[in-house]
Amino acid sequence: MLINISIEDANRILADEHIDINIIEISLLDSLDYVLAEDIKSNINIPPFNRSPLDGYAYRSEDTIYATEDSPITLEVIDVIQAGYVSNKKINNGQAIRIMTGAKIPEGADVVMKYEDTKFTDKEVKIFNYLKPQSNIVKMGEDIKSGDIVLPKGIVIGPAEIGILASLGRSHIKVYDRPKVAILATGDELVDIDEELKEGKIRNSNSYTIAAQVKRWGGEPVLLGICKDNIEETTRVLKSSLKWADVIITTGGASVGDADIIKEAFQETGGKILFWKVKMKPGTPIVVAKYENKFLFGLSGNPAAAYITFEQFVRPTILRLRGKTKYNLMEVDSLLENNSNKISSQNRYIRAFTYKKDGKYYTKLPNKHSSGVLSSLSEKNSLFFVASGMGPYKKGDKIKVQLINYLEVGE
Ligand SMILES: Nc1nc2c(c(=O)[nH]1)N[C@H]1C(S)=C(S)[C@@H](COP(=O)(O)OP(=O)(O)OC[C@H]3O[C@@H](n4cnc5c(N)ncnc54)[C@H](O)[C@@H]3O)O[C@H]1N2
Ligand code: MOO
């Protein structure tokens, strides 16, 4: 078992683990923010015909070569075409058809002049200047050509992709499923949120924080409630959850105390421990195991430690399981707004609020940093990483921060 490893090694071990991603078929509008699991090839041209981008008149360009402001050319109007309809008339020399935006260009026409630049009656239209052939004609297939791979497998489906799929007539598509994530709180001190607080007890907040994090990054959280610090009971719950969950996250019992039974419980399920303890604060005692293709994350019971280790290790795994392999936390250069006096003996992630002003990022740190303190994580959108031995930092220092609410697309 690997113990007390670096953050980089922990990430590499996780990234190297084989994963199975489920593919499901889903209806178009439900597919928002899923990752496409098939190449989408077009079997049609879009637009499917040459069309007019303007409300105007379609005619033969050659008829108007000598048209000028002082000596306009008059054409006979032989038909009107609304968008969605076609004309069965062919334009010959000296003729024009009144045409609306989006309508199919009639046979014989090679140019469209917008209304505002003409003078017209029901029967005639006057053209005052010459437009080259093909002016104001949107070509068939300008948007999408038949046979093109329009959307490649692996991209995230956003509103534009949904529109493209709609234009191709796809009501259902194949996507990578969202992982089901079981969340278990462990600890004799815990009661659920609607229970009375007796002496020595605290409410289980971790399961809810983590369920929200899972939801935010696209997993499907399932709360398993609370387990006492009891290895048999914990193992039983884990085993039954492994039947359906893709990921299990526990909090508490990950350290070295008498009741810290999570590592053993992971092993009892038949899981292989990938590593235990990472050189970072908060959240050192994280334990990660793999059972078949499922991941088990044993996070610290300390609320901020659980939150931060989730962002570092669980989030990338959830994103991978959703097929979002190219996405990373966004990291920016920022200017520190207050002093940070500590010299860090360990790698440390400091919760922070980062904002942008006049093109520069600025970062404020809260007063409370303890891994048992959840309240100072409120409204924090970033983490300031301080490598072991670094610090103190003072106001105005240039630092790097991870923006934990933003992802950027890599290569
Ligand atoms: N002798 C040592 N003791 C500790 C060490 C160590 O190295 N040697 N490491 C400390 C560090 S660092 C951490 S982090 C914690 C992690 O401990 P556990 O993961 O075993 O977590 P617990 O002891 O079960 O709980 C820690 C803390 O969090 C509260 N908690 C637990 N679950 C919840 C929940 N669902 N919602 C809200 N709060 C929760 C719990 O009551 C404790 O106060 O170990 C240190 N000890
Ligand atoms: O590693 Mo712990 O989360 O700092 O208290």
Residue range 76-88, pLDDT digits in tens:
999 999 999 999 9
CA 19 – ligand 2 centroid, Å: 29
Indicate whether residue 284 lines ligand 2 (CB < 6 A): yes
Token pair belonging to 210: 């983590």
Indicate whether residue 305 lines ligand 2 (CB < 6 A): yes
DSSP 3-state percent helix, strand, coil across the chain (nearest 5): 20, 35, 45
Give the pLDDT score at 411.
66
Average pLDDT for 198-203: 96
Q: Are 54 and 114 in contact (CB under 8 A)?
A: yes
Residue recorded with tokens 């692996």? 154
Looking at the CA of 299, which ligand is closest?
1
CA 251 – ligand 1 centroid, Å: 9
Sequence-ordered list of residues with C-beta below 8 angstroms from that of 156, at least 6 positions apart, any chain: 33, 34, 35, 36, 324
Give the pLDDT score at 181.
98
Give the pLDDT score at 232.
96
Token pair belonging to 254: 């990950």
CA 19 – ligand 1 centroid, Å: 30
CATH top class, domain 328-409: mainly beta
DSSP 95: E
The radius of gyration computed from the CA coordinates of the chain, to the nearest angstrom, equals 32
Mutate to test the pocket of ligand 2, among 260, 300, 368 (most ligand atoms within 8 A of CB): 300
Q: ipTM of the predicted structure?
A: 0.97
Sequence-ordered list of residues with C-beta below 8 angstroms from that of 359, at least 6 positions apart, any chain: none
- Alpha-carbon dihedral of residues 147, 153, 159, 162, nearest 10 degrees? 50
Residue 259 has pLDDT above 80, yes or no: no
In sequence order, the β-bridge partners of residue 184 are 250
Closest ligand 2 atom, CA of 304?
3
Closest ligand 2 atom, CA of 308?
3
Give the pLDDT score at 182.
98
Q: Are strands 180-186 and 220-227 parallel, antiparallel or unpaired?
A: parallel
Average pLDDT for 391-409: 92
Map out the domains of the chain as residue ranges.
2-22+177-325, 33-42+143-176, 56-127, 328-409
Across the chain, mean pLDDT equals 95
d(CA 62, CA 93): 8
CA 122 – ligand 1 centroid, Å: 84
Residue 266 has pLDDT above 70, yes or no: yes
Tell me the residue ranges of DSSP E strands in 228-347: 247-251, 272-278, 287-291, 294-299, 327-336
- Would you state the CATH architecture of domain 56-127? Beta Complex (2.170)
Q: Are 290 and 299 in contact (CB under 8 A)?
A: no
Residue nearest (by alpha carbon) to ligand 1 atom 12: 284
Q: Are 317 and 21 in contact (CB under 8 A)?
A: no
Whether the model pTM is above 0.95: no
Backbone φ, ψ for residue 244 (5° rounding): -130, -20
Q: Give the right CATH number for 33-42+143-176 from 3.40.50.460, 3.40.50.720, 3.90.1150.10, 3.90.105.10.
A: 3.90.105.10
In sequence order, the β-bridge partners of residue 401 are 332, 384
Sequence-ordered list of residues with C-beta below 8 angstroms from that of 170, at least 6 positions apart, any chain: 28, 40
d(CA 2, CA 289): 11
Closest ligand 1 atom, CA of 229?
24
Q: Give the right CATH number for 2-22+177-325 from 3.60.15.10, 3.40.980.10, 3.20.20.80, 3.40.50.2000.
A: 3.40.980.10
d(CA 208, CA 221): 10
d(CA 75, CA 120): 9
Give the pLDDT score at 151.
98
> Where does ligand 1 bind, in terms of residues with CB under 6 Å?
185, 187, 189-190, 202, 204-207, 251-257, 260, 282, 284-285, 300-303, 305, 371-372
CA 300 – ligand 1 centroid, Å: 6
